[in-house]
Each structure stands twice: as structure tokens, then as C-alpha cells.
Structure 1
Amino acid sequence: MDRRTKPAYRLPWSRGERSCAPFGQKDSGIRFLVFAAALSTALAPVITLQASVPARAGRWLPEIDNPYCGIKTYTLRDVAEQASSMTDRNGRPVIVVNSSMLRDHPNYSKFLLAHECCHHTLGHVAKFKKDLGHVGPQAFFYIAPELKRLELEADCCAAKLLRDRHEPEGIDAGAEAMAEFGDEPTGAYYPTGLERVDMMRRCGALDP
């Protein structure tokens, strides 16, 4: 990996080599996904990255300013997910974002950054770590039902952050992206696109 450059797309430590279609496009039923492509990738930041990313993040990953929270935020090329919230080896919260997304979709990136901040500030990442530690290999069965609720909570929180910062373009871009899913889930055990659009509009006080 060239550490001097930023853009690209695929997570080298992701357990499932799932490719995402380009932003706004559909490909063989696999569309661009927010936070994760499926349950396994949704939990990958907590399970897989906890030990590996922090060392990298602290040493060489480019850090960016995240105006929506005080959490260390880094960019990474070749990532499958658009963004992930996790903790480092010392338990400190960090966010890793797809650098291509930041470069190519600045308005949507506002929603994305705010959404990931909310996963931390609402305690979602800490909850995943706690639950995984308690239930062990059975974690997926216990956590899966929670994913829908947590995503909607983060969507609402992000919309409020953007509303309060007078950045409606971020909410618009997020809602437009989710609308492409229609009444289909945005990921395994995730809310449908329309459910997420409704949540963002209500919390961001947008006209339907």
C-alpha cells in the first residue's frame, strides 16, 4: 500500500471480501452500503480492527478534521466500507473513513462523518464490545436485532448535528443515498432505505 496517497476502496483486514458498487449505482444486488455491507462486516470493526487499525492509525494513517465530534478520524484507501467506528488497542474511540468517499462525495461525506460520530457518542461501539465479550461466539444472534435500531438512532443523531450546523446539504445527500434502496434493507438486519429517509427527514426537520 502506498502510504503517501489517499483514495481507493477495499478493507485489507475485512473477513469477507465484499465489493461495493460505486456510489449511487447497483451491481448484482450488491449496492453501496453505509457502515457495513452485512452483519459480518458491520461487526468487523469491533472484532477484527480493534487490534490492527489502532497501531496503523497512530503511526501513519492520514488524520482529518471531523467537525462533528472530537474523535480521532483517519482516512484510508482500499476500504470496503465507506466508514467504520471502532476503538484502538487502548480503548480510545477512532473513526476510519474511505478517502475516495471524502474526495468524490463531499456532501454525502458530511452525513457519513456525523453518522459515525453518533455511533460513538450514543455508545453503540461500546455496547458492541461489551455484548461481544459477554456472549462470545453467539454474539451475532444477540446483536443482530439491535442493528436496525442503532442505525436509525445514528441517522437521527447525524441529521440533528447537520441541522444544528446549518448543513442541510449533508442531510439531503444522506437521504438521497438511502432513497435508492427504496423498501429494501440497506444491509443485513438493517433498516430499509425508506425507513432511514423518514428518520433523517423527521430528525433534520426536512420537508418530505
Structure 2
Amino acid sequence: MWLPQVENPYCKVATFALPSIPEQAASLTDDDGEGIIVVSGSTMTKAPAYSHFLLAHECCHHTLGHVKMLKKGLGQLGPQPFFYIKPALRKMELEADCCAVKLLKASHEDDSIIAGEDAMSAFGDEPTGAHYPTGSERAANIAACAGVE
């Protein structure tokens, strides 16, 4: 199946847009173990500034080694791997958010940082994904990272 590849200015990881996916973006590996990123085409169309935050965030999961670490860890764990990696998932999301802020600051995309913070704030005290920090935690983390020079 052919997927439309999109330009990702934040890393050299192959990035593809899908019309609709359950998550707005995800970092994965293909059958050959190469990193890939998939993003929601509808999010890219409807919220370009936020989609830049997502692209940078997903690049950070690859450049920080999160994807390889999870793949390696999941291969060695039993039938309930998320129980064991739950604390790591929270930490990785916060790290990827902060890394994304740095990438966006370097390219002078403050609107994308604000869009990421706003999107996380919309979750309030609800988790932003399975075993992820709450929206409030992530928004505060993004703001703190944006304030660091």
C-alpha cells in the first residue's frame, strides 16, 4: 500500500500522512527496523501550527532513542509490557515535548509551540494517551521548556 510522504523539516525520518488515524501522530519502525512517522492528514490540514509541533515531537522520539528503546524492551517483556514501561512512557512524552520546543525555537516557530501547549491544555487533567502525562502536566512542561534559553 502506498502512503503519501510529507516533508518533515525536523528530522530525516520518513514521514507519512494518513487521512485518519486513532492518534494524531505516531513514531514506529517499518518491517526493516527503519524509523517512520505517521501523522493525521486531517490535523495537518486543519491545524498546521499544531501539526508542526507533532512532527517535531515525533522526530524527537526517534532522535532521543525512545522508539528503539521501546521496541527492544517490548521484545523482552511478557504479556503485559505496558505495566513495566508505564513510568518510562510518561518520561519519554515529556522529554519529546521539550525536545520539540527546542527544535521549534531554533526555527522560530513560536506559534507551533503555543499550539502544542494549547492542544495539551485542552486535555486538562485527563491523560493525553495510554499511560501518558495529563494535558495539564504536558502543557506546564512545554511552557517551562519554552522559557528556558
Q: TM-score, normalised by structure 2?
A: 0.94
Q: Say whether residues 1:70 and 2:15 are aligned partners.
A: no
Unaligned runs of 5+ residues in structure 2 are none
Aligned twin of 2:73: 131
Unaligned runs of 5+ residues in structure 1 are 1-55
Q: Deviations over 1:42-73 (max 9, x none)?
A: xxxxxxxxxxxxxx3xxx11111100111100
Aligned twin of 2:88: 146
Cα distance, 1:188 vs structure 2:
3.0
Amino acid at match of 1:183: D
Alignment of 1:1-150 (within 5 A): 56=1, 60-150=2-92
Three-state SS of the structure 2 residue aligned to 1:64 is coil
- 2:133 aligned to 164, 184, 191, which one? 191
Q: TM-score, normalised by structure 1?
A: 0.68
Equivalents in 2 of 1:144, 1:103: separation in Å?
32
Please tell me whether Structure 1 or Structure 2 has the larger radius of gyration of its CA atoms: 1
Cα distance, 1:101 vs structure 2:
0.5
Q: May I ask how many residue pairs the two structures share in their alignment?
A: 148
Q: Quote the RMSD (CA, aligned, Å).
A: 1.3
Q: Percent of aligned positions with the same letter in both sequences?
A: 57
Amino acid at match of 2:34: R
> Contact (CA 8 Å) 1:162, 1:204: kept in 2 or not?
no
Cα distance, 1:98 vs structure 2:
0.7
- 2:106 aligned to 149, 155, 164, which one? 164
From the two aligned structures, give the one with the greater helix fraction: 2
Q: Deviations over 1:126-152 (max 9, x none)?
A: 011111111132312211221111100
Amino acid at match of 1:194: S
Equivalents in 1 of 2:61, 2:121: separation in Å?
21
